[in-house]
Copies of this chain bind each other. A is one copy, B any other.
Amino acid sequence: MAHPTQTAPAPLGRRERRKLEVRERIYLAAHALFDSKGFDATTVDEIASAADVAPATFFNHFQNKHALLEMMADGVIETLDDLTARHLAGSASSAERLRALIRSASDEIRPRRRVARLVLIEFIREAGPDQPSAYLDRILEPFAALIEEGQRAGDFRDDHDAAFLAQMAVGMLNSAIARWLSDPDSPVEQGLVEVTEFVLNVLQRPSEPT
């Protein structure tokens, strides 16, 4: 799960390097704390002292505590994009690609359950009643790409466009993931596999007029 703090690569003075370093330290400290204690139970002061900076410094780097979640959400999306790019490159069948993507995604999530939950909530919450959701669309993109690819190959139904099918697929996966995320002991692997197969079944079957 890449986090977005590593962007500009080359021409950085010691100054900016330090700054990024601090920012990164805060981010990582927060990530660890959120994952172990949850968001609400984690104090800005705790984050600051875990990152070994003064409390005031925190606000030099992040507008507020919530901004950390947004950054983590960005990280998730980046990771998802990376995974998709990797799996699209491969030459397996459409179904196998989707399976692989979902397997990879679940591998990413597993060790960071708690943060994953927070991010999932963030995805829904972020879409304030005023602006269209940014995350939700970006989450769909990778799936849509993969499905479109599958449609072109003739593997997936094309009575709906890829975006719509992606939304349906993500919806189904989501409900499985949501359940998993909230129940620490549930057998994700198994549940997720079942849902994945169902999704494939739905995607593959061409529609007949009702």
Contact = CB atoms under 8 A, between A and B. Distances in A.
B133 A117 contact: no
A2 interface: no
A175 B207 CA distance: 21
Contacts of A160: 198
Task: Give the contact-size bracket for chain A.
Answer: 35 or more
Nearest to A209: B201
A201 B164 CA distance: 14
B172 A168 contact: yes
Contact of A168 (B117, B164, B182, B195): B195
Interface in A157-173: 160, 164, 167-168, 170-173
Contact of A198 (B114, B129, B168): B168
A16 interface: no
A67 interface: no
Contact of A182 (B117, B133, B170, B178): B133
